[in-house]
Amino acid sequence: MTESAESSAGSSAGSSVPPRSSAAPAARVPGLHAVVPAGGAGTRLWPLSRAGSPKFLHDLTGAGRSLLQQTVDRLAPLADGVVVVTGERHAAAVLDQLPDLRGSVLAEPSPRDSMAAIGLAAAVLAEREDDPVIGSFAADQVVEAGPAFGEAVRQAVVAARAGYVVTVGIRASGPSTAFGYVRTGEPLGLADAPDACRASGFTEKPDAATAAAYLATGEYRWNAGMFVVRASVLLDHLARLLPVLHDGLREIARAWDTDARDDVLARVWPGLQRIAIDHAIAEPVAAEGGVAVVPGDFGWDDVGDFASLGDLVPADAEGRHVLGDADAVLTLDAARPVVVPGSGRLVAVLGLDDAVVVDMPDALLVTTRAHAQQVKGVVDAVRAAGRDDLV
């Protein structure tokens, strides 16, 4: 099996999400403040997604709402508030999509990875609220918004109040090689969160054999990067593990709701360390026994590539997965095509199974589902060819 085929099989395995699941009534979780990091270019979805028009701003499931909007739609009924952290470049587009969030969009002057993004939100909320619990949920994932999601968040908040950094472990629908895994340890014994367990560790994306071995143990779940934690707990860990980053974020947070915000941001932000929250907090704290995992038994996908997107976009009567105007697509002797007709032109596919055709006004990608994970290489080549205008 080739690496690409593995990757494809892996990412396909994640796609058990009903794309248009009806929003079920969710019970509010008092004290929870949702944080939505909206970053990342979605490189593997080029040329649909790109730095200037990233994945989270797109409707990638045909639901009529962008991934960002769907994320906020899902969280708003649960939380006391929703804060979006995004780049300055995208703040206007975020507010266009979410006009109700004016005042709740934190704009980063430059990308500083997920620890700075989530840490900034935690520090700002810690200034604004009384010991808030924050729940961080990426803006570019597809999640089945139903009772199971609400229950996972509820138990996660209980465990967070008990002092844990809590992650949601997604029930794996197959041995995906596209996701990292979290390993579940012994139950925490929390009365109101009976399913919460200690997290005994995190893994990077495994190879196929390792992924299969993980699943055989019954102990591993997909790490969706969802973190629920008291802001004070997160900031205390940060102060201990990355004190300079902590102090910088705290200084910015104190100035955030004042006239000094821009000055402090301009002075402090550029020097902040770039690090993912996984490496900054989750892994070292898990090693200390301070991370909990609650099971997430709901459909989830990170729409990491076009194979995944193809599984999320419902097939039409001809078995085609068209994100956009199906009348603009004509297929003949071509099974399971994934087509994004994004330029207004007619797209005709003949004699290719599992083709991926992404037709944008300035760039066209032709590939197959099996090569979906390698689209990043195309973007690298586009950049190497001096066409930064296209990425």
Q: Which residues bind a second copy (CB under 8 A)?
A: 4, 47, 327, 330, 332-333, 343, 345-352, 355, 357, 359-368, 370-371, 374-375, 377-378, 381-382, 385, 387, 390
Report, in Å, the least distance between residue 229 CB and a second copy: 40
10 Å Cβ neighbour count for 65? 14
The distance of closest approach from Cβ of residue 320 to a second copy in the complex, given in angstroms and rounded to an integer, is 13
Smallest gap from residue 360 Cβ to a second copy (A): 8
CB of 314 to a second copy, least distance (A): 21
Question: Which tokens sit at 234?
Answer: 């997160």
The SS3 of residue 272 is coil
Contact assessment for residue 162 and residue 321, using Cβ atoms and an 8 Å cutoff: no
Nearer residue to a second copy within complex by CB, 176 or 367: 367
| Beta carbons of 357 and 349 less than 8 angstroms apart | yes
**Torsional class of 252: left (φ above 0), alpha (ψ -120 to 50), beta (otherwise):** alpha
Angle at alpha carbon of residue 35, lines to 29 and 38, rounded to 5°: 145
d(CA 391, CA 43): 8
Which of 201, 176, 217 is closest to 307 using CA atoms? 176
Cβ at position 356, least distance to a second copy in Å:
9
Q: What backbone torsions phi and psi does residue 322 show, to the nearest 5 degrees? A: -110, 120
The candidate with the shortest Cα–Cα distance to 187, out of 200, 168, 202, is: 200
Q: Which is nearer to a second copy, 156 or 382 (CB)?
A: 382
> What is the closest distance, in whole angstroms, from the C-beta atom of residue 2 to a second copy in the complex?
10
Rounded to a whole number of angstroms, the minimum distance from the CB of residue 7 to a second copy is 11
Distance CA 347, CA 219 (A): 45
- Give the whole-angstrom CA distance, residue 232 versus residue 5: 44
Q: Which is nearer to a second copy, 98 or 382 (CB)?
A: 382
Q: Maximum CA pair distance of the chain?
A: 63
What count of other Cβ atoms lies within 10 Å of the Cβ of residue 91?
Answer: 17
Q: Identify any residues that bridge with 355 across adjacent strands, giving them in sequence order.
A: 368
For residue 351, the minimal CB distance to a second copy (Å) is 3
271 or 361, CB closer to a second copy? 361
Q: Closest approach of Cβ 377 to a second copy, in Å?
A: 6
Q: Which is nearer to a second copy, 235 or 391 (CB)?
A: 391
Q: Would you state the torsion angle of the CA atoms of residues 39, 45, 51, 55, taken in this order, to the nearest 10 degrees?
A: -40
Structure tokens at 146: 């139903």
The smaller minimum CB distance to a second copy, of residues 61 and 368, is found at: 368
Task: Record the tokens describing residue 112, joined without a space.
Answer: 């500083």
Q: Which is nearer to a second copy, 236 or 389 (CB)?
A: 389
Side chain identity at 102, as an amino acid letter?
R
Q: Which is nearer to a second copy, 240 or 345 (CB)?
A: 345
- Nearer to a second copy by Cβ, of 229 and 355: the residue is 355
Pairing of strands 291-296, 197-203: antiparallel
Q: How far is the CB of 6 from a second copy (least distance, A)?
A: 14
Minimum CB distance to a second copy smaller for 291 or for 355: 355
